Amino acid sequence: MRLKSLELSGFKSFAKKTSLEFQSSITSVVGPNGSGKSNVVEAIRFVLGEQSIKSMRGKSGVDLIFKGSKNLSKASRASVTIYFDNSDHIFHLENEGGEKVNLNYDTITISREVFTDGLNKYSLNGTEVRLKDIQALLTSVHIGSSGHHIISQGEADRILNANNRERREMIEDALGLKIYQYKIKESERKLERTTNNMKDVSLLRKEIAPHLNFLRKQVEKLEKAKEQKIELLGLYKEYLQRESVYLEKEKNVLSSERNKISKELEDISSKINDGAQNETKENSKNEDIRNFERKINDIRRVKDELSRKLGRVEGIIEMEEERKNKGDEPTSDAVFISAEKAQTFIHEMDECVSSALSKNDILEIRLVLERIRLIVQDFIPKNKNTQPERPINSIEDLEKTKDEILEQVHKIEDEERSFINEANNLRREIEQESLAGREQEKEKFALVVKRQEFNSDLNMISLREENLARTQTSFEDEIREGSIFLGADILSYKNFEINGEESRENQEERRKKIERIKIKLEDAGLGGGAELQKEFEEVRDRDAFLTKEMIDLETSIQSLRKLMLDLKEKIDLEFKEGVRKINKEFQEFFSLMFGGGSAFLSVVAEQKRKRKGGEEDLEGEDDIEEDGIVFEHGIEISVSLPHKKVKELHALSGGERSLTSIALLFAMSQVNPPPFLVLDETDAALDESNSRKYGDMLEKLSHHSQLIVVTHNRETMSRAGVLYGVTVGSDGGSKLLSVKFEEAAQIAK
Residues that bind ligand ATP (CB under 6 A): 12-13, 31, 33-39, 63, 65-67, 153
Query: Of 12 and 608, which has the nearer Cβ to ligand ATP?
Result: 12
For residues 290-321, one letter each, b for 16 or more C-beta atoms within 10 angstroms of the residue's C-beta and e for the rest, the string is eebeebbebbeebbebbeebbebbeebbeebe
Query: Of 187 and 734, which has the nearer Cβ to ligand ATP?
Result: 734
Whole-number Cα distances in Å, 146 to 172, 177, 256, 384, 661: 9, 12, 116, 175, 16
* Helix/strand/coil for 639: strand
* Helix/strand/coil for 85: strand
* Helix/strand/coil for 706: strand
Query: Of 115 and 345, which has the nearer Cβ to ligand ATP?
Result: 115
Whole-number Cα distances in Å, 98 to 93, 95, 145, 493, 564: 9, 5, 21, 69, 16
β-pair partners for 624: 631
Q: Write the DSSP assignment of 223-264 as a string of letters.
A: HHHHHHHHHHHHHHHHHHHHHHHHHHHHHHHHHHHHHHHHHH
Query: Of 77 and 633, which has the nearer Cβ to ligand ATP?
Result: 77
CB of 571 to ligand ATP, least distance (A): 37
Angstrom distance (rounded) from CA 352 to CA 375: 10
**45 and 29 in contact (C-beta within 8 Å)?**
no
- For residue 313, the 8-state DSSP code is H
Q: Name residue 218's amino acid.
A: Q
> What stretch of H or E contains 73?
none
Query: Of 65 and 80, which has the nearer Cβ to ligand ATP?
Result: 65
CB of 61 to ligand ATP, least distance (A): 11
CB of 740 to ligand ATP, least distance (A): 20
CB of 163 to ligand ATP, least distance (A): 27
Query: Of 12 and 382, which has the nearer Cβ to ligand ATP?
Result: 12
Query: Of 36 and 144, which has the nearer Cβ to ligand ATP?
Result: 36
Return the percent helix, strand and coil in the chain, to nearest 5.
65, 15, 25
CB of 679 to ligand ATP, least distance (A): 13
Taking the C-alpha atoms of 159, 165, 169 and 172 in order, what is their torsion angle to the nearest 10 degrees?
Answer: 100
Per the document, the length of the chain is: 749
**379 and 424 in contact (C-beta within 8 Å)?**
no
Whole-number Cα distances in Å, 419 to 5, 293, 367, 415, 416: 168, 8, 15, 6, 5
CB of 35 to ligand ATP, least distance (A): 4
Query: Of 16 and 427, which has the nearer Cβ to ligand ATP?
Result: 16
Q: Write the DSSP assignment of 604-621 as a string of letters.
A: EEEEPPBPGGG-B-TT-S
* Helix/strand/coil for 216: helix
CB of 706 to ligand ATP, least distance (A): 20
Query: Of 59 and 650, which has the nearer Cβ to ligand ATP?
Result: 59
CB of 681 to ligand ATP, least distance (A): 6
Query: Of 479 and 728, which has the nearer Cβ to ligand ATP?
Result: 728
CB of 746 to ligand ATP, least distance (A): 15
Angstrom distance (rounded) from CA 396 to CA 628: 174
Query: Of 66 and 676, which has the nearer Cβ to ligand ATP?
Result: 66
β-pair partners for 108: 84
- 92 phi, psi to nearest 5 deg: -130, 150
* Helix/strand/coil for 551: helix
CB of 74 to ligand ATP, least distance (A): 8
CB of 41 to ligand ATP, least distance (A): 8
CB of 564 to ligand ATP, least distance (A): 43
